[in-house]
Structure 1
């Protein structure tokens, strides 16, 4: 997988998560599968709008849909969320290391002032 492919997936996922309705859908799916109607329940938007949100989440790779007779439940794609978490953690760890170094410098300066 190329860096460009990974960047495109990250862009789609973060764009999809930029909408509060879609974040709420992800939160709901974190508790288990749900149908389109179940995902639509808490929102006062049309089924068509719900379907568009689901399509964005699918395109971003954050959810999948399966077929169970008449039902087409949506499922959270945990691997996609893990990829996002991994990307964030990379930068979080770098920032934490910088803060630890800065804390050490400040502590050293305090000791020298005594």
Structure 2
């Protein structure tokens, strides 16, 4: 039986991995780009500019929301989304810290 060892890693490592997983699909990157340009967006507007079905866009929005990268409100049949900039700022700080540590380690590499 496989043993789940995720708990063996730091909270920061787990957080960075979760963020990377959430943005690992090109459709999610495109959705984030649309949201950034418009500041907030109705799901139907996203469907209009992407070559994806409504159900596919909704699934990607759900993944981004579950990861905390976007916020959304439902008003009847309409769902409005915007980027959670605090989550992106945290990722930016954590990733830059990781990048600097990796560069330091690499300086000592053969």
Task: Indicate the RMSD between aligned Cα atoms, in angstroms.
Answer: 2.7
After TM superposition, the structure 1 = structure 2 runs for residues 21-100 of structure 1, keeping only pairs within 5 Å, are 21-31=27-37, 32-67=39-74, 71-95=78-102
Larger Rg: 1
Unpaired runs of at least 5, structure 1 = 103-114
**Number of aligned pairs?**
100
C-alpha distance in 2, partners of 1:97/1:10?
Answer: 19
Offset of 1:69 from its aligned partner? 6.7
Q: Do the aligned partners of residues 53 and 87 (structure 1) sit closer, same or farther apart at CA in structure 2, a change above 3 Å counting?
A: same
Given the two structures, how large is their TM-score scaled by the length of structure 2? Answer: 0.73
Counterparts of 2:102 and 2:16, CA distance in 1: 20
Residue aligned with 2:49, SS: coil
